[in-house]
Amino acid sequence: MEKQLERIGLVYHPDYNMDLGSHVFPARKYQMVYNLVKQDPKLAELYIYKPDPAKEKDLALVHTKEFLQDLFSLKLTERTQNSELPLTKQIVHSFVLAVGGTILATELTEKYKFVYHIGGGFHHSMPDRAEGFCYLNDAAIAGKLFQKQHPGKKILFIDLDLHQGNGNSVVFQEDPDVFTFSMHQENLYPKKEKSGLDIPLGEGTDDKKYLELLEKSLNEIRSEFKPDLIYYIAGADPFEGDSLGDLKLTFQGLRKRDKIVRDFALATGARTVILPAGGYAKDFHDTVTIHYNTIKVFAAE
């Protein structure tokens, strides 16, 4: 008889809050989401797990030796510069810690149905190079480690960030035990890679159209793939007020998106790690609210 799992676990480390100056990536959002959790009477009692930095041998499950050497040497090269982020010791530490956080979140799925990591979702990073605000691909590394520890188990990536999860698509392209699903704006960064299922969206896609496509896609996936573990890349950037995108999801639509994924995960019986990924709302607090709402959706019985 399978043991009864607790509803939701949380993972966070204060060192995720990188100093990026005026950079468009709002790294201070992690602290703000954490603050909202601690102020919420229903969530404040949850134990928040603090990760250790990932080990270099785990990073090497996905990333090449040459890339990791450049990264840890703080060298701006063709392997590191496409991150479009500064390259400092503190920032690299934050990314290594975030990988550790997603590894810890994955391990905690032995205890919880859902684990929300208040950090991570850096889905553009490639095996041999950084890309798009992403130095290290935390979910791909955690997924590879999970496969190593649980041979034959199946992993599903549900990527609902504004941008295609191109890094995960590349890492797992030839792996029959991993299915990558990405629903993203079409005419936008990055250069598109082949996922298990890609749903490109036109500018102006609203709640109704988006949610219909999401439900249809998940039903298709469920008919052909039975995941043991899900990584849900729950980007806040499909929001109508996002500064980098042209999708038109409302707060209500994004909550409904999260509920659809939650109910899908419960129906499949898969353990689920949720990652915040991107979010660039014109009003910074909207991004924070969207991530916080995702936690509330998954915490609700």
Q: Name the 3-class secondary structure at 216.
A: helix
Supply the pLDDT for residue 1.
40
Cα 258 to Cα 15: distance, rounded to the nearest angstrom:
27
Supply the pLDDT for residue 3.
62
In a domain, 127, yes or no: yes
Helix 138-149, helix 89-107: angle, nearest 10: 40
181-212: buried (b, 16+ CB within 10 Å) or exposed (e) per residue? bbbbbeebebebbebbbbbebeeebebeebbe
Q: Which helix (H) or strand (E) holds 290?
A: helix 284-299
Instruction: Output the pTM of the full model.
Output: 0.97
In a domain, 116, yes or no: yes
Determine the structural domain holding residue 42 and report its residue range.
6-299
Supply the pLDDT for residue 18.
83
Supply the pLDDT for residue 2.
53
Helix 29-39, helix 284-299: angle, nearest 10: 50
Q: Which two tokens stand for residue 101?
A: 């956080």
In a domain, 248, yes or no: yes
In a domain, 83, yes or no: yes
Cα 202 to Cα 185: distance, rounded to the nearest angstrom:
6
Residues 6+ apart with CB under 8 A from 175: none
CATH at 206:
3.40.800.20
Residues 6+ apart with CB under 8 A from 20: 27, 85, 86, 91
Q: How many domains does the chain have?
A: 1
In a domain, 281, yes or no: yes
Supply the pLDDT for residue 202.
98
Q: Which residues pair with 180 in a beta bridge?
A: 157
Cα 246 to Cα 202: distance, rounded to the nearest angstrom:
8
- Residue 201: φ, ψ to 5°: -115, 140
In a domain, 157, yes or no: yes
In a domain, 100, yes or no: yes
Q: Is 219 exposed, middle or buried (0-12, 13-18, 19+ CB in 10 A)?
A: exposed
Q: Which two tokens stand for residue 7?
A: 């509803």
Contact 272, 114 (CB under 8 A): yes
Summarize the chain as % helix, strand, coil (round to 5).
Answer: 40, 15, 45
- The region that residue 275 occupies, defined by phi over 0 for left and psi between -120 and 50 for alpha, beta otherwise, is beta
In a domain, 252, yes or no: yes
Each residue's pLDDT, cut to its tens digit, for the chain (301 residues) gives 456 789 999 999 999 988 777 677 878 899 999 999 999 999 999 999 999 999 999 999 999 999 999 999 999 999 999 998 999 999 999 999 999 999 999 999 999 999 999 999 999 999 999 999 999 999 999 999 999 999 999 999 999 999 999 999 999 999 999 999 999 999 999 999 999 999 999 999 999 999 999 999 999 999 999 999 999 999 999 999 999 999 999 999 999 999 999 999 999 999 999 999 999 999 999 999 999 999 999 999 7
Eight-class DSSP state of 54: P
69-82: buried (b, 16+ CB within 10 Å) or exposed (e) per residue? ebbeeeeebebbeb
Among residues 157, 146, 110, the alpha carbon closest in space to that of 274 is found at 157
Eight-class DSSP state of 170: H
Cα-Cα end-to-end distance for the chain: 22
